Amino acid sequence: MQPPDRLPTCSSNHHDSAICGRVKLFLYYLKKPGLLPAFLIAVFIYPYAGNCFAETTRQTSKTVFSITTIADGLEHPWGMAFLPDGRILITERPGRLRIIRQGKLQDDAVTGLPAIAARGQGGLLDVVLHPDYVNNGWLYFSYVTGNGNRTGTEVGRGRLSGNHIADWQTLFSLQPKSRAGRHFGSRLIFDRDNYLYITLGDRGERFRAQDLNDHAGSVIRLHDDGSIPADNPFVNQPGKKPEIYSYGHRNSQGAALHPQTGRIWIHEHGPQGGDELNVIAPGNNYGWPVITFGKEYGSGEDIGDGTHKAGMQQPVYYWVPSIAPSGMAFYNGDRFPDWQGNLFVGSLKFRLLVRLELEGMNVVKEERLLKNEIGRIRDVRVGPDGFIYLLTDEKNGKLVRLQL
């Protein structure tokens, strides 16, 4: 049954929202008498069979969905990946890799990852499959390592063998390392030509994002074996790091491949205001901290030289006030046809899921879902089943599925 297309958004309180949704659905179904029996079952019988309808159904401007918790008891989960055999890999920031098998979180963490420095915002971060995982078995991880009290983001790969990561190879290590406990990035994403991209934060030392002899505050591009592509924009330029693909980024924790264009979209945290959505291209400078729509925390003073400058890119979209974005996915599944092509972004700060409608590279509508219902949203992925999966960044974090 197709849900009504353009019902108004309901209140953020999910119980009120469910009641509100039922009233609106009733009005909708009154116009379609053939569907009335289904409505009556949904409203008057289903709630008494476990109160499921009231607890889980959400009415939005475009579609109806429900949520279900697949797993809880995850400690600050950060990234997830779906294996072809149905298992789900989940990273926990304190340094554990967990597996969900047949819908159940396995007790034992996977062994064999390198030593991980779980301090501040650092720890075990993202996990992705190689695009040809079926044939080569490579899993890629981003994580923070320490040398004394200096830390930085690293990326490596290994193969899952039983409950162990074997064949470990370290592929990238941010230089220089520093003491700050924040802004490590980092998402990992492959493009259609099997290049690996790594998003890196500025380490809270903002002018590093404009220093091309410093990996911090950039997006890195590598071959899948960690070698540096000869056509990277700063290869063979003295005093510039050849791994850098784009720079002037503050702290990016979301990246997604556009399903039609194949281009890589990222978002990044702004300071007080000025979170950005960007489409990256080689050699581009995205401006931080010279230009920004954000202000200094607390004082609200200006940062840098304003919002625009020649030679620096403007974001596709930005948020003031900041939502603190983390995780991102284009919806290209077949379960929610009315969300096709939309971009979904998690919000840590406002504990909600942002849905963006796009026309080309322009955002034409934003809708906010699940506000204060499940917690700080750290990662957003579309599963192979066409449903949307979310991780919540909590001490008792959850894997939640948006379904019909």
- Distance of alpha carbon 230 from its chain centroid, rounded? 29
Please pick, from the candidates 287, 327, 375, 383, the single residue that binds Ca ion as defined by CB under 5 A.
Answer: 287
| Total residues in contact with Ca ion, by rule CB under 5 A | 3
Cβ 308 to Ca ion shortest distance, Å = 10
Q: Are 93 and 155 in contact (CB under 8 A)?
A: no
Cβ 293 to Ca ion shortest distance, Å = 8
The stretch near Ca ion (CB under 5 A) out of 5-13, 219-227, 283-291, 344-352 is 283-291
Label residue 367 exposed, middle or buried (CB < 10 Å: 0-12, 13-18, 19+).
middle
Q: Are 91 and 127 in contact (CB under 8 A)?
A: yes
Nearer to Ca ion, 65 or 286 (CB): 286
The H or E element spanning position 238 is none
What number of CA atoms fall less than 13 Å from residue 253's CA on the CB side?
A: 29
Q: Is 286 in the site for Ca ion (CB under 5 A)?
A: yes
List C-alpha distances in Å: 342 to 12, 303, 358: 21, 32, 6
Nearer to Ca ion, 122 or 287 (CB): 287
The stretch near Ca ion (CB under 5 A) out of 123-131, 276-284, 296-304, 342-350 is 276-284
Q: Is 336 in the site for Ca ion (CB under 5 A)?
A: no
Distance between CA atoms of 123 and 370, rounded to whole angstroms?
27
Secondary structure class of 184 (helix, strand, coil):
coil
Cβ 159 to Ca ion shortest distance, Å = 37
The stretch near Ca ion (CB under 5 A) out of 125-133, 284-292, 296-304, 354-362 is 284-292
Nearest to 391 by CA among 61, 52, 88, 4: 88
- Interface map 220-239 toward Ca ion (x if CB under 5 A): --------------------
The token duo for 344 is: 């979904």
The stretch near Ca ion (CB under 5 A) out of 20-28, 151-159, 253-261, 285-293 is 285-293
Cβ 144 to Ca ion shortest distance, Å = 24
Q: Are 356 and 403 in contact (CB under 8 A)?
A: no
Nearer to Ca ion, 248 or 383 (CB): 248
DSSP E strands: which ranges in 162-304? 164-173, 188-190, 196-199, 218-222, 244-247, 254-257, 264-268, 275-279
Q: Are 379 and 388 in contact (CB under 8 A)?
A: no
Nearer to Ca ion, 199 or 392 (CB): 199
The stretch near Ca ion (CB under 5 A) out of 142-150, 153-161, 270-278, 325-333 is 270-278
What amino acid positions are annotated as catalytic residues?
183
Cβ 277 to Ca ion shortest distance, Å = 10
Distance between CA atoms of 325 and 249, rounded to whole angstroms?
14
Nearer to Ca ion, 95 or 294 (CB): 294
Nearer to Ca ion, 87 or 309 (CB): 309
Q: Closest residue (Cβ) to Ca ion?
A: 287
Token look-up 């569907």 returns 35
Distance between CA atoms of 191 and 193, rounded to whole angstroms?
5
Secondary structure class of 203 (helix, strand, coil):
coil
Cβ 351 to Ca ion shortest distance, Å = 25
Distance between CA atoms of 127 and 183, rounded to whole angstroms?
18
Q: Is 350 in the site for Ca ion (CB under 5 A)?
A: no
Nearer to Ca ion, 89 or 209 (CB): 209
Residues constituting the chain: 404
Residues that bind Ca ion (CB under 5 A): 276, 286-287
